[in-house]
Structure formats: C-alpha cells, structure tokens
Amino acid sequence: MDVQKILDRLIELGSEYGLKVIGAIIIWIVGSWLIKKMLRVVNGLMDKKGYDEGLKKFLLNLLGWILKVLLVLAILGNLGIETTSFAALLAAMGLAIGMALQGSLGNFAGGVMLMIFKPFKIGDLIEAQGELGVVKEIEIFTTKLLTPENKLVIVPNGALSNGNITNYSEEGMLQIRHVIGVSYDADIKQTKNVLMNALTSQDLVLSDPVPTIDVAALGESSVDFAVRPWAKTEDYWTVYFNTLEKAKLALDAAGIEIPYPHAVEIQKEA
C-alpha cells in the first residue's frame, strides 16, 4: 500500500470536507444558541398571556424538537447530504403515525384548545358529555371529573372541546329553583311572606341578588309558587335542601296547607 497515496487522499478529503465539517459545527453551536434564545422568548410571551403550566411545557418541548430537527436538516444540507428523501421519509412517517393515532390526536388537539381558551379550571363544577362533576385534573388527552357521588369520570378532551360545557362555578353563585304548591284557601300575600322569611333566615342565602317568590302556576289542586334563592356555588346543595325543609316547617307553623293527592277507592257493585 502506497503510504503517500493514502496521505494525499486524506489531504484531499480534508480540504474538501474540512471546511464543511467546521461549518457544520458552527451551525450547530449558533443554531443551538438561537433555539434556546427563541424558547426563552416564547416562554416569556406565554407567561404574559397566562398560559397553563402544563400546556406551556408541552408547547415548549414540541417547539424545541421541531427546531432541532430543522437544525439537523440544515447541518446535513451543509455537509452535502441529500435531505429531500430524508424529509419525505419523515413526512411519510408522520402521516402514518397520524392516521394510526387519529383519535388520540383529536383528544390532544382538544386538550390544547381547553388549555388555551380555558372554559373551566381545576375545582370548577361543570356539566359536559352527560356528566356532572368537579374538575379534578386537566390532562393533555383527557379531563377527570369527580361526581357528587364521588365517582371518577374520565372524559376524552376531543369530545369535551367539541360539545356543550356548562360551568356552574364561573360566576361564583347559582340560583336555586323550587316550586312549592299551597292550598287555594291560602292567602297569597301571607304565603309569600312566610316563604320569604324561610329564605332570609338562612345565613347561606345571598341577599344580593335578592331572593324572589312569585306565583308560577295555578295547578289543579294548588297554587304553585316559584321559590328562587341565590347561593354561592359551594353552598348550592346546602341551601337547596335547607330551603325545602324550612319552607315546610314555616308553612306548617303558619297553618298553610300543602295539598297532596288523595287516593279515592271506588267500590264496584257485585
């Protein structure tokens, strides 16, 4: 083996690729610095916008990987390596993975939308997809609800973001709705005063908005009153049940009858 020829070949390769390798190293160093700088800027912008912490970390990681892939492609191109076929392979792989994970990607997109637009937050009482519960966790693919019966319900974010969502906690208070019927013999003004006292005697009933008592309907055997107190969201069920109990006790004490259906037995002739 001719040593001189080997040295000449090495010198030839060094002169041909040396500058490209040095250029690739410089591109990597400068590109990595720019990526870190860009991620810091994006992180600052998301902090100002008040992005959810989980969403912020995910987006930063995703952006970081995309920028690193682009940086690698730029380095390969600088070295003279054909990147067209490589990019086409990545695109084909992305398409195949996307088709295989179509449902998961829909849930992922739904999770991102929920984190960006924030129709609810952890601790809110919501109703969605036929479920009622307190939001326990908001994850990238699913949201976990804790029902009043202490059941854990896991709802896919894709369906959740595309359906109706009722947030009972957003305004901080709720109106309780009862219909209480009394006898036609009862005095309407007295009945309204008795029911209002049953509401205002409760510490958890809000004075603003003011509770309302109105005649809602003239039924077959009763005059029906719409009883509408307001309470903080967390006090809803306490006020709901207390109102029924206190209204019954107050009406009994005032001698106001609450009518109820009577079974009539019809005796047939033999």
List the one residue out of 97, 36, 43 whose CA is nearest residue 68. Answer: 36
> Does 162 share its domain with 177?
no
> Does 149 share its domain with 225?
no
Q: Is residue 140 part of a domain?
A: yes
Q: Is residue 134 part of a domain?
A: yes
> Does 136 share its domain with 96?
no
How many other C-beta atoms lie within 10 A of the C-beta of residue 217?
12
> Does 38 share its domain with 73?
yes
> Does 84 share its domain with 9?
yes
Its pTM stands at: 0.60
Q: Is residue 13 part of a domain?
A: yes
CATH label of the domain that carries residue 209: 3.30.70.100
Question: From CA 20, how far away is CA 137, in angstroms rounded?
Answer: 50
Domain hosting residue 193, numbered range = 173-253
> Does 188 share its domain with 136?
no
> Does 55 share its domain with 29?
yes
Hey, which residues does 174 pair with through a beta bridge? 231
CATH label of the domain that carries residue 149: 2.30.30.60
Q: Are 174 and 229 in contact (CB under 8 A)?
A: no
pLDDT at 83 (0 to 100)? 60
Q: Is residue 111 part of a domain?
A: no
**Which of 91-115 are b and which e, b meaning 16 or more Cβ less than 10 Å from the residue's Cβ?**
eeeeeeeeeeeeeeebbbebbbbbb
Q: What are phi and psi of 155, to 5 degrees?
A: -110, 125
Q: Which residue has the tokens 């997109």?
A: 109
Q: Is residue 187 part of a domain?
A: yes
> Does 7 share its domain with 93?
yes
> Does 180 share its domain with 163?
no
> Does 150 share its domain with 78?
no
Residue-wise pLDDT tens for the chain (270 aa)? 565 566 555 556 555 566 677 777 888 888 889 889 988 888 888 888 777 665 676 677 778 878 888 888 787 777 666 666 666 656 666 655 555 445 567 787 888 788 778 899 888 999 999 999 999 888 778 899 999 899 999 999 888 988 899 999 999 999 999 999 999 999 999 999 999 999 999 999 999 999 999 999 998 889 999 999 999 998 999 999 999 999 999 999 999 999 876 554 444 444
> Does 94 share its domain with 123?
no
CATH label of the domain that carries residue 28: 1.10.287.1260
Number of folded domains that form the chain:
3
How many other C-beta atoms lie within 10 A of the C-beta of residue 24?
17
Tokens of 227: 């009883």
Q: Is residue 260 part of a domain?
A: no
Q: Is residue 91 part of a domain?
A: yes
Question: From CA 145, how far away is CA 132, in angstroms rounded?
Answer: 8
> Does 11 share its domain with 95?
yes
Q: Is residue 73 part of a domain?
A: yes
